[in-house]
Amino acid sequence: MREPIFRGAATALVTPFTPTGEVNYPKLGELLDYQIDQGIDAVVILGTTGESPTLPTDEHIDVIARAVDMVAGRIPVIAGAGSNSTAEAVDQTRRSSEVGADAILSVTPYYNKTSQAGLVAHFRAIADATDLPIIMYNVPSRTGLNITPETAAELSQVDNIVGIKECNMEQVGAMKRLVPEDFQFYSGEDGQVIPMLAWGGSGVISVMSNVIPATTHDLVWHWLNGEHDRARELQLSVIPLIKALFAEVNPIPVKEALNILGFEVGQPRLPLVGPSEATRQALTDALREYGVPLRSTN
C-alpha cells in the first residue's frame, strides 16, 4: 500500500524576487516559515506558481536545495521538475532528488505536446530516474494536453507514480474507477477542493494558500474529519478571493496580493508583468473583505 506524500493542503509557493530580479533567498525562508507556522501540510517549490519556466536549471535546483535546507524536515518539500523535454525533466528530477526533495511534481509536456503513448513513455522515463514518489500534474488549460483516465490508469501501475494533481475535474470520477485505491488525487483548482474531496481525494495543491494557508488547511481537514458543513462554508467563503487571485494569469495576482499584504515578494519575471490597476484594486477589495491581515513589519 503506497502512503500519500501528504494529506491536506500544499502551497504552490511563489518564488520571491529582489527588485533587480534575483531570487530573494531570505524572503523565501520567511515565506516557508510563515506557511509552516500557519499549519500548511506540504509545499511545492517551483511549480507553475513559482514561475519555473523562467529559472534556468542550475538556478532551479539551487532554489529547491535552499528550500529543503530551510524547511529542515518540518513538512514535505515537493519539487516542481517538469518540462516539455523528457531529457530535461529527467535531469531536473534526478538533481531534485540529489538535493533532498521529498517528492516530485511533474507537469505534462506542453507546446510540442505528445500522444497518450508519448505521455506513458515520458512519465515512465521520469519515474525511472528517481526513487522519489511522483505526482503527475494535469492542467490542459495551460499545456493543451490531457492525461486521459486510461493513461492515468496505466501510469498508476508504476510503483513511484503515486498520484495526480488534476485540473480537469470532469474526468475525476472516470479516473477513480480505473486506478488503484492507493493512487492519490489532489485538486489543482482552489474553487474545486470540496468536489475533489467528495470523490475521495487527499487534498489540494493550492495557490490561494499563499495568502490564506490556515484557512486552506482547515477547509481540507474539516472535510477529511467529517465536518462537511464547516468545510463547505469555508469553500463558499473563499470564492470572491479566488476570483480576484485568478483575474489575470497565475501567478501575477497572487504575487501582487502578497505584496499588498506586506510580504514584499517582488514582481514576476518576464514575460509576466505586474497586474493592471483594476486587478490590484480587486485584490485589495477581496483581501479586505475576507479579512486577511496585513503582515507586521516589526
The Cα 278–Cα 298 span in angstroms is 30
Residues annotated as part of the active site: 137, 165
User: For the chain, what is the mean pLDDT?
Assistant: 96
Residues 6+ apart with CB under 8 A from 189: 167, 169, 196
| Domain segments of the chain as ranges | 8-225
pLDDT at 23 over 80: yes
**In the predicted model, what is the mean pLDDT of residues 241-265?**
98
Q: What is the architecture of the domain spanning 8-225? A: Alpha-Beta Barrel (3.20)
Q: How confident is the model at residue 2 (pLDDT cuts 50, 70, 90)?
A: confident
Give 45-92 pLDDT, tens digit per residue: 999 999 999 999 999 999 999 999 999 999 999 999 999 999 999 999
Decide: pTM greater than 0.85: yes
Give 208-247 pLDDT, tens digit per residue: 999 999 999 999 999 999 999 999 999 999 999 999 999 9
CA nearest to 151, candidates 122, 181, 129, 111: 122
